[in-house]
Chains A and B, each alone.
Chain A
Amino acid sequence: MLKISNVETFYGKIQALRGVDLDVNDGEIVSLIGSNGAGKSTLLMTISGVNKARKGNIVFNGENIENKAPHKIVDMGICQVPEGRRIFSRLTVEENLRLGAHANEKGKHFENDIKEVYDLFPVLSDRKTQRGGTLSGGEQQMLAIGRALMSKPKVLLLDEPSLGIAPKLVNQIFISIKNINKEKNVTIFLVEQNAKKALELADRAYVLVNGKVTIKGPGQELLKNKDIQAAYLEGGAKN
């Protein structure tokens, strides 16, 4: 469905991605783990077109998208939940959600879509007239995911949904992600620092180190991998 081959991305002279190969199949949950600065967010930004790849191809459903504008990529069915949620804090919850449907707000299903998001995250329904900035971190993350779902994506790119969120809510959000995948049939590409959670959830997973994929395999298998356990699961402090 989504195939990334030999992608290189630069920030000025600094190379962030050094030839990434990766693919995501229809209906899967794929996780990408790695430490700070490995290039995880850069990869997501490159897929969604906010950053441009200098080399390599990104093919989505048989079509090259590496040179497309971000809004075209969203129209094709790839939507990103950016790192740090990036809620429109002065806009209300419902306005945030409607912005997610920017591409198809005129569509018939619009009212229905917003209801589905409220069913998925009932807390948002209670807070629909509140300003986005007044929500807690976890609620904001739900809003960010809901907002992205409003564009009816085929693939949802999630950038660190657990960042800065209470552990209890992290569990809830990961359950929601699983539901979105299973019930709404949305393919998930998840980038996470919380390696344990991300691997448990994933059908398949990749490890990114210094802009390159070093290990790949089914999520359960990677959980048992000695190197991964040492580097990402038991905490870097023990090394």
Chain B
Amino acid sequence: MEKKDIIQSFKDSLFTGLIALALFGPIVGLRTVSKGEGLFITPQWGVVFLLVGLCILGRFLININSARRTEFKIFSTLSSKFSSITEDKAKHFAITGILFAVVFPFLPFTDRYFMDVAIMILTYIMLGWGLNIVVGLAGLLDLGYVAFYAVGAYSYALIATTFGWSFWICLPLAGVFAAFFGILLGFPVLRLRGDYLAIVTLGFGEIIRIILINWYEVTNGPDGITGIPRPSFFGLPFKRSPDEGETSFHLFFNLEYSTMHRIIFLYYLILVLALITNYFTLKIRKLPVGRAWEALREDEIACKSLGVNPTNTKLTAFAIGAMFGGFAGSFFATRQAFISPESFTFIESAIIVAIVVLGGMGSQTGVVLASIFLIGITEMFRDLEQFRMIAFGGAMVLIMVFKPKGILANRKPTILMHGDKK
């Protein structure tokens, strides 16, 4: 490397240090400590200089490396590993993944904590797959997807607590409500694309949340809805001592009572719901409407000239995407037994969009990998408390640096051979 390059990259890293100083200075450097009757600022410049020094060094190393046109070996092998999961291996990968998911609750190391994390990851996978219809296939950037999740959860909670109907009746109803809200959002944004669409959908997500907070008579406002019925195993509740005339799950199957039964049931429930979402998406991609979604993402004018009705196409994408969000929402409500607007903030939408984008827009397997990666990382670093968001951000940066189009960026064709109607 030439001397000029070294000086150049050194200058660049000093500049990075300057930005780091501006950021870390106030955030880390000025610490408020409560003493007696007030807050006092205690500077901790030592830590700031350490962090700034690390940034300068890191930037300098990256500069030198990119000047040599080599990558850090560990990342290039990692990224080529991901790339190798392409079309022919995808099926293999999917089957292994599903098999693993099915036996997961009975593996020796699986405990309550692992099950909870797995249920959470599966919920996000389902949400990711649902949003993938809107963002990945139809190319409509929706930053308010959590609204449909909320509509599903609240529909389920309200119907179940008011009428006492079972989960299997409330679930489709919640989906229908969410789909209806999808169409409601769809109408005003028909003419919008890209950034403008993102802003309106973002607003829609907030509107729903604010309505939930303020419509006290119906939604119980910030207090949320409690006592949402737990799901039953086709009529058999998961209770230690069932009510009179009722048989509970463990008595029916002659098992020792354990709370794990319910957790395992919830796990399989979300697994099945997620797989239905996936199956539906894979099927609909091969139908005219699914193909029209993808065409709309590619070129709206060409679509119009070919007789694709953009209004219907967009509305179906919004409605179907929202419906799956609604299903996931009802699952969330029945699992938690308590919901409040707190659970449906913008950060949820952001995480779901991140899962879809980082997974590689439109890639079903990518959504799975991104969910495991992002949710898993935030869980792994749970001990770091508030700093785990740094790990989350770091993970996103790493994916964008080494896989700018997402983990799995290849679109799989829907037709492989002529006349081959699969």
Interface residues of A (CB under 8 A from B): 48-50, 69-71, 73-75, 79-82, 86-92, 94-95, 98-100, 102-103, 105-106, 111, 114, 125, 128-129, 131, 147-148, 151
Q: Within 8 Å of chain A (Cβ to Cβ): is B194?
A: no
Contact in complex: B305, A79 (CB < 8 Å): yes
Count of chain B residues near A, Cβ 8 A: 24
Instruction: Jot down 12 A-B pairs with beta carbons below 8 A, ordered by A.
Output: A71-B307, A75-B307, A82-B305, A86-B305, A87-B302, A91-B295, A98-B291, A102-B306, A111-B419, A129-B413, A151-B306, A151-B307
- Cα A193 to Cα B241 in complex, Å, equals 84
Interface membership of chain B positions 283-303, coded 1 if the CB is closer than 8 angstroms to chain A and 0 otherwise: 000001001101100110111
Q: Within 8 Å of chain A (Cβ to Cβ): is B91?
A: no
Q: Within 8 Å of chain A (Cβ to Cβ): is B417?
A: yes
Contact in complex: B294, A88 (CB < 8 Å): yes
- Cα A64 to Cα B288 in complex, Å, equals 29
Q: A70-B305, A94-B415, A148-B305 are in contact. List 12 more A-B contacts (CB 8 A).
A: A50-B301, A50-B304, A71-B304, A74-B307, A88-B294, A90-B298, A92-B413, A98-B291, A99-B292, A102-B292, A102-B306, A105-B288
- Cα A186 to Cα B295 in complex, Å, equals 25
- Min CB distance A140 to B, Å, is 12
* The 9 residue pairs across chains A and B that have the minimum distance between CB atoms: A74-B307, A86-B302, A88-B298, A80-B305, A70-B304, A71-B309, A92-B413, A71-B307, A103-B307
Closest to A100 in B: B306
- Please tell me which one of the listed residues B299, B304, B308, B415 contacts residue A92 in the complex, with CB atoms under 8 A apart: B415
Contact in complex: B292, A128 (CB < 8 Å): no
Whether A128 contacts B288 in the complex (CB less than 8 A), given A82-B301, A99-B295, comes out as: no
Interface residues of B (CB under 8 A from A): 288, 291-292, 294-295, 298-299, 301-309, 411, 413-419
Contact in complex: A88, B295 (CB < 8 Å): yes
Residues from chain B with a CB closer than 8 A to the CB of A80 are 305
Closest to A103 in B: B307
Residues from chain B with a CB closer than 8 A to the CB of A94 are 415, 418
- Looking at chain B's contact residues, the main secondary structure is loop
- Cα A75 to Cα B294 in complex, Å, equals 21
Contact in complex: A148, B414 (CB < 8 Å): no
Residues from chain A with a CB closer than 8 A to the CB of B299 are 86, 88
Closest to B308 in A: A102
- Cα A79 to Cα B307 in complex, Å, equals 8
Residues from chain B with a CB closer than 8 A to the CB of A100 are 306
- Please tell me which one of the listed residues B288, B298, B309, B415 contacts residue A129 in the complex, with CB atoms under 8 A apart: B415
- Cα A50 to Cα B299 in complex, Å, equals 13
Residues from chain B with a CB closer than 8 A to the CB of A99 are 291-292, 295, 303, 306, 308
Residues from chain A with a CB closer than 8 A to the CB of B301 are 50, 82, 86
B295, B303, B305, B413 pick with most chain A CB within 10 angstroms: B305
- Cα A80 to Cα B305 in complex, Å, equals 6
- Cα A92 to Cα B294 in complex, Å, equals 11
- Min CB distance B294 to A, Å, is 6
Contact in complex: A48, B415 (CB < 8 Å): no
Closest to A104 in B: B307
Closest to B285 in A: A95
Residues from chain B with a CB closer than 8 A to the CB of A48 are 304-305
- Please tell me which one of the listed residues B305, B417, B418, B419 contacts residue A50 in the complex, with CB atoms under 8 A apart: B305
Residues from chain B with a CB closer than 8 A to the CB of A91 are 291, 294-295, 298, 411, 413
Residues from chain B with a CB closer than 8 A to the CB of A74 are 305-307
- Please tell me which one of the listed residues B302, B415, B419 contacts residue A95 in the complex, with CB atoms under 8 A apart: B415
- Cα A156 to Cα B295 in complex, Å, equals 21
Residues from chain B with a CB closer than 8 A to the CB of A98 are 288, 291, 415
